Amino acid sequence: MEYTDFDFNSKKIAVIFNECVKNPYPILQNLEQTLLDKGANPEVLELKEIKYGFDFVFAVGGDGTILHVAKFYAMSQTPVLGINLGRLGFLSQVNTDKIQYAVDCVYQNKFNIEKRIMLQSEKYYALNDFVVKGISKTRSAKFVLKINDKYVCEYIADGLIISTPTGSTAYGLSAGGPVLHPNLEAFVIVPICPHTLNARPIVVPSSENITITSFEDDVKEFNLIIDGSENIETDKEIIITKAPHTAHLALLEDDIFYSVLRNKLNWGVSPKSL
């Protein structure tokens, strides 16, 4: 969706940064001054101070920072533009050497908004993935997968990854799952190190209800890991559905997904001769 009516000077703009990233302050000073030069009056906040009330947000940090900020502002449909201070920066739009370019694009309305579907399990939300593991860190666990209350299969594995298209290039990809275009309305279920050769990832419509439980003779104890950062212990079955809100990511270029695959994951790049 193209965001064509953004009046830069009349909007409330926030800069949210991760204080745990090594020395973010020169970048913040550069970004804040660039925004001030364009007539904006940005509010600079640490990640722990995040709050509502803004029309546009710059998220400064790694992919974890952008995940957190984009999820937070999903309910208010606030667009989030990521500036990478991490390693890979898969969700970020620009590196620190292109701050002027990013501000100019926003100022001139030369950006689009891409809506990214999210996952929900009770009160928890994930933009990348939910990972379900057993309560023991030293052994595999037994899982039963149901979709729309219909039995699908059983796994003995180190865990299960339930991923959005956004998260399909993260943990799910490392575990052998497919890459999904971010505009697809689908989720991926990927077993982690299954104890069988015939367990394969499965792609399901985002309208499906996914339930993960244990075998009937086992205690229902799981760890639910949310976007790789938050760990919840639960003794209940885990029900995962599509979240009612979408994250709004600000994109400065069209068809950036394929270029990110090439440039950051070396996808489809011919091997170099030695």
Which of 5, 7, 37, 63 does the annotation list as catalytic? 63
67: CATH:
3.40.50.10330
Which of 81-90, 144-153, 195-204 has the least mean pLDDT?
81-90
What are phi and psi for residue 255, nearest 5 degrees? 55, 35
- Residue 273 in any domain: the answer is no
Cβ contacts of residue 8 below 8 Å, gap of 6+?
Answer: 38, 39, 40, 106, 107
- Residue 97 in any domain: the answer is yes
* 174-204: pLDDT as tens digits: 999 999 999 999 999 999 999 988 889 999 9
Structural domain containing residue 201: 119-242
Cβ contacts of residue 152 below 8 Å, gap of 6+?
Answer: 145, 146, 202
Residues 35 and 56 in one domain: yes
Q: Please count the structural domains in the chain.
A: 2
Residues 109 and 190 in one domain: no
Whole-model pTM: value is 0.89
Q: Give the per-residue pLDDT at 2.
A: 47
* 112-145: pLDDT as tens digits: 899 999 999 999 999 999 999 988 877 888 999 9
- Residue 25 in any domain: the answer is yes
pLDDT-derived band at 246, boundaries 50, 70, 90: very high
- Residue 63 catalytic? yes
- Residue 218 in any domain: the answer is yes
The neighbouring-strand residues paired with 156 are 142
Residues 112 and 130 in one domain: no
Residues 124 and 235 in one domain: yes
The whole-angstrom separation of Cα 34 and Cα 225 is 38
